[in-house]
């Protein structure tokens, strides 16, 4: 009887050690990661993998040419964005109005974090709604103080079908108070079914894109 118990005990210890070994090996082994040439490419992959919307503003002086390695095999987009920020500490991220925004950690000089008191766009197309941002007095003062200008968000030809034919463009109305520019972009782009916006600083120009 004593021998039988001893064998059972040894077998239990062996199985426990084997399980511990397999667990330790699984934790120690690097996860499958893919390298992307920049944040913009990484966000494109995140949108496609997790079916989410994103916003991005590059930090002043950062041309976003540093590769990032991300593991997209999990099911938590937050973990992936945490890993991105760990590699690019000049940035922060937040989920706002259905968009995962990645923006400069330093607020000074960040256009997307500029707060405006009143934003109104009535029965506006996407282009008109975004152009309304330029007309805001706070935005005009911000650009003038920095001797900067904002490039076109999107070309008219993108929104208008060839020859001017096709279904009428969608229109929406917005009225927001005391919000940051990125909050406006999140709501505007989300309302028009767009999944991504980006603000690009280079020299004296700020350009905004969509996809």
Could you report the per-residue pLDDT of 145-201, keeping only the tens digit for each? 988 877 754 444 344 444 545 456 789 999 999 999 999 999 999 999 999 999 998
Residues 183 and 114: their CA atoms lie apart, in Å, by 10
Same domain assignment for residues 4 and 102: no
Same domain assignment for residues 9 and 96: no
Q: What's the confidence (pLDDT) of residue 12? A: 56
Same domain assignment for residues 68 and 81: yes
Same domain assignment for residues 65 and 162: yes
Q: With residue 101 as reference, give the H or E element that holds it.
A: strand 99-104
pTM over 0.85: no
Q: Name the average pLDDT for the chain.
A: 83
Could you report the per-residue pLDDT of 31-61, keeping only the tens digit for each? 578 999 999 999 999 999 999 999 999 999 8
Same domain assignment for residues 41 and 17: no
Q: Could you tell me the residue range of the domain that residue 3 belongs to?
A: 1-30
Q: Using CB atoms within 10 A of its CB, is residue 23 exposed (0-12), middle (13-18) or buried (19+)?
A: exposed
Number of domains the chain is built from: 2
Same domain assignment for residues 40 and 24: no
């Amino acid at each position: 009887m004593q021998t039988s118990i001893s064998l059972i005990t040894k077998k239990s210890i062996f199985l426990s050690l084997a399980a511990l070994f397999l667990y330790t090996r699984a934790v120690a082994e690097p996860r499958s990661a893919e390298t992307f040439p920049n944040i913009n490419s990484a966000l494109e992959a995140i949108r496609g993998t997790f079916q989410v919307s994103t916003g991005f503003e590059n930090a002043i002086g950062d041309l976003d040419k540093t590769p990032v390695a991300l593991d997209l095999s999990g099911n938590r987009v937050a973990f992936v964005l945490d890993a991105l920020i760990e590699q690019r500490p000049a940035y922060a991220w937040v989920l706002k109005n259905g968009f995962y925004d990645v923006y400069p950690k330093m607020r000074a000089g960040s256009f997307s974090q500029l707060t405006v008191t009143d934003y109104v766009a009535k029965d506006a197309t996407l282009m008109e709604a975004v152009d309304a941002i330029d007309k805001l007095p706070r935005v005009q003062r911000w650009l003038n103080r920095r001797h900067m200008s904002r490039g076109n968000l999107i070309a008219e030809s993108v929104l208008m079908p060839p020859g001017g034919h096709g279904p009428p463009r969608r229109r929406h109305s917005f009225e927001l108070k005391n919000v940051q520019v990125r909050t406006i972009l999140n709501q505007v782009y989300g309302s028009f079914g767009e999944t991504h916006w980006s603000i690009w600083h280079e020299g004296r120009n700020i350009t905004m894109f969509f996809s």
